[in-house]
Structure 1
Amino acid sequence: MTVPFLNLTRGRETYEPAFLKHVEEILSTGIFVLGPKTEEIENRLAERLGARHAIACSSGSDGLLLALIACGVKSKDEVITTPFTFFATASAITRLGATPVFADIDPKTLNLDPEKVAEKINPRTRAIIAVHLYGNPAHLSALGMLAKDHGLVLIEDAAQAIDARWEGKPVGAMCDAGMLSFYPTKNLSAMGDAGMVLTNVDSRAEMLRKLRIHGSGPNQYVHEYIGINARIDAFQAASLLAKLPLLTKWNETRIRFAESYNAKFKDLPLQIPRVLPAAEHVYHLYTIRTPRRDKLQKFLNGRGIGCCVYYPLPLHLQPCFASLGYEEGDFPEAELASREVLNLPCYPYLSDTEHEEVIEAVRDFFNSGGQSE
């Protein structure tokens, strides 16, 4: 049996009628950028996530850049974040002329280790970006205390974590600003690029709304800030509106599959996802760890099972960041994770039969001594 890592063509019948209805309304108004559909999804997600303001934008990457600008990060500032994340987390920092300063990860959660973050704080530090990797919340209490004690901005990269919770509250709107991504693979996805910034500060929200349209306000030819073109189009907002009613069910299905994997893998020599007591994981990605990762991946691919590695090269070792002066060995936990993590199929329209096939294949690999080719 072939089991795809992800299949975005499945389940379209559950949201397509609603999406097409929204499209008809957009076509009748001729408002294709921002507009009423954008305002509606902003209002609905702000309410759902406990944010005072939600500002939709062109992508999660642009959303993180906008959040940094709105939070006052400038050239020559330092921003502490994890080296074990998607590239955009650090690239947004460098695009402002600021410097990403990496801190190593907790080997259990794979998120920022607050103790390592504390070691990196200095007078040039302006902000911390906490990534909720794979949908698993970072330790916001400890990171929040560090930020408060040192007068720093704390920004949440919740690109993979919509509806995840920390101490019972949705992540993304718990700090100075938070970013969501709606890339087509995400738990709540658009049909192209789209993102959102969350904040509870009125003045920051006003600034963000201007920054996404070149820094202009009601008069589009008067620019208060040097912004960017980061507007969301109405069709992406429509796709989010059509899918939002399904998000709770979709996340529950991901959690059900993840808990089943955990139960079936607990006796195997691998590490299943670790979740802090205050956290609720939404399993954008289900991730295991094993020193035999490469052999396991080859074995699963040979059985027709899709699996991926997020992420194979930590950011401090990326060629474009060579000027930062990091070397192999600087962040041993992130480097080890990049050699050991493997992401297995875990999405709402994975069938139970396919899910069991993945379990059987992983168990077969380890039952054979982990030497299968």
Structure 2
Amino acid sequence: MQDPQAQSFARLRLRLTPLRSVEASIVESLSSPGELAQTRTQNLISVRTSRSSHSPASRSNTPEMEEYEDVYAHPESRWHRVLYRCMRTTNAVPGRASTSQRSEMLPDDDDAPAVTLQACAADMRQIWGCPVIQQYLKEQGLFMEEQSGLLILAVFSTTSNGSLPKAISRPMANDILRTRVKTIAPTETVLPNLEPGLEWRLYDVGGARRQRAKWAPFFDDMDLIIVLVPVSAFDQVLAEDKEINRLRDSFELWDELCQTKALHHIPTLLFLNKCDLLDKKLKAGIRLAEYLTSYEGKPNETKKALNYLSKRFAAMRKDSTAPQNTPCYIHHTSVVDIETTHTVIAYVRDKIILGQMRDSYFV
């Protein structure tokens, strides 16, 4: 007789199958037409190859479909184009997008994902709260907080009658801070109405290896450079090169930036980000010294680790060809912490304005 717990998991798996269509719908809205066609072709080939490699007796174990990789918004996607147009035409004032703009951005069945999530909410909460699942994730060293688009906290807030909160269809600030838009090309974001008389222009450039050394010559007139280093990724490898540790790659990126003469005159802010996830990993027993040999013999504590990383990045800056009189600041951040993020943004604003006043000889 089959284990009752195994039967329960099998039923849960069957009831949660509709979530795959939700994933496909979201991927379609965020992808460019060419990228979407390529993804479908690759998935079809993968499934056919998988099926052909199985004997008839084992075909019942064939995966139902190939999993999507990390989801991100492509700059050429319909969602991104309409968002940019809405920001330009409404001066970034929330809620002023026209009905035609909103209808263009969303398909006719735009409520379908929310309806499916509502139907699966109870099962999602059940499987996430299962001690067996949590123990397995812990044993495998899997931190779901690092997965893009994880809105499990919204599922926790499901009301007693089974309805989903508005956060699912109308994301709140906490939900937005936990999402990601992967950078695959330099993008510009204009925020004209944050405060009177001041327009922010943010240029996001890729940190991936294939994108480095290409953008620097075009951004030598910036007011400030912000570098984000995910310190919680010390036990992970690059997506484009499985042999390279992500923290090691961050050291190399920082060194390249410090050695780039075209950017030497621009003040730099280095954010050691995702400190909250670093703290969880270290408390879970994952040792930083196993991935960063120079940390061997030091306490596996968050504060000690962050201080060590700060000193190492600062030493690399000092030993580089960057002028010592060009400001460089290092901060420990967690962007999902709204209060801290607000303080950091205010700090960045003050530094930019002070620099502009200094260049204009006002100070």
Q: TM-score range by the shorter chain?
A: under 0.3
Could you say which structure has the greater relative contact order, defined with CA pairs below 8 angstroms and 6 or more residues apart? 1
Q: Which structure has more strand as a fraction of its residues?
A: 1
Larger radius of gyration: 2
TM-score (norm 1): 0.26
TM-score (norm 2): 0.26
Q: Which structure has more helix as a fraction of its residues?
A: 2
